Amino acid sequence: MKIIFATNNSHKLQEVNQILGPAFELATPRDCGITEDIPEEQPTLEGNALQKARYIHERTGMDCFADDTGLEVAALGGAPGVHSARYATDGHDPEANMSLLLENLAGAADRSARFRTVIALILKGKEYLFEGEVRGHIAELRSGSEGFGYDPVFVPEGYDTTFAQMSAAEKNGISHRGRAVAKLADFLKACTE
Ligand code: IMP
Q: How far apart are CA 49 and CA 39, in angstroms?
A: 10
The response to whether residue 150 sits with its C-beta less than 6 Å from ligand 1 reads yes
- Would you give the DSSP letter of residue 37? P
pLDDT value for 17: 87
Strands (E), 28-139: 64-73, 80-81, 112-123, 126-138
Whether residue 179 contacts residue 115, with contact meaning beta carbons closer than 8 Å, is answered with: no
Distance (angstroms) between ligand 1 centre and the Cα of 69 equals 6
Contact 129, 46 (CB under 8 A): yes
Assess whether pLDDT exceeds 80 at residue 59.
Answer: yes
How far are the Cα atoms of 14, 31, 150 from residue 87, in angstroms, in the given order? 26, 30, 11
Identity at 48, one-letter amino acid code: N
Pocket test for ligand 1, best of 45, 98, 114, 150 (most atoms within 8 A of CB): 150
Q: What percent of the chain has pLDDT over 90?
A: 82
> Residue 138: phi, psi to the nearest 5?
-95, 120
d(CA 148, CA 130): 23
Cα 121 to the chain's mean position, in Å? 14
As a whole number, the mean pLDDT across the chain is 94
- Give the pLDDT confidence of 28-53 residue by residue, as tens digits: 999 999 999 999 999 999 999 999 99
Q: What is the pLDDT of residue 114?
A: 98
Query: Can you name the CATH fold of 2-192?
Result: Maf protein (3.90.950)
15 lines ligand 1 (CB under 6 A): no
pLDDT tens sequence across 141-189? 999 999 899 999 999 999 999 999 999 889 989 999 999 999 999 999 8
C-beta of 84 in contact with ligand 1 (< 6 A): yes
Q: How many CA atoms lie within 13 A of 120 on its CB side?
A: 23
Kindly report the pTM of this predicted structure.
0.94
Between the two ends of the chain, the Cα-to-Cα distance in Å is 11
Give catalytic residue positions.
68
Q: Which atom of ligand 1 is nearest to the CA of 40?
A: 2
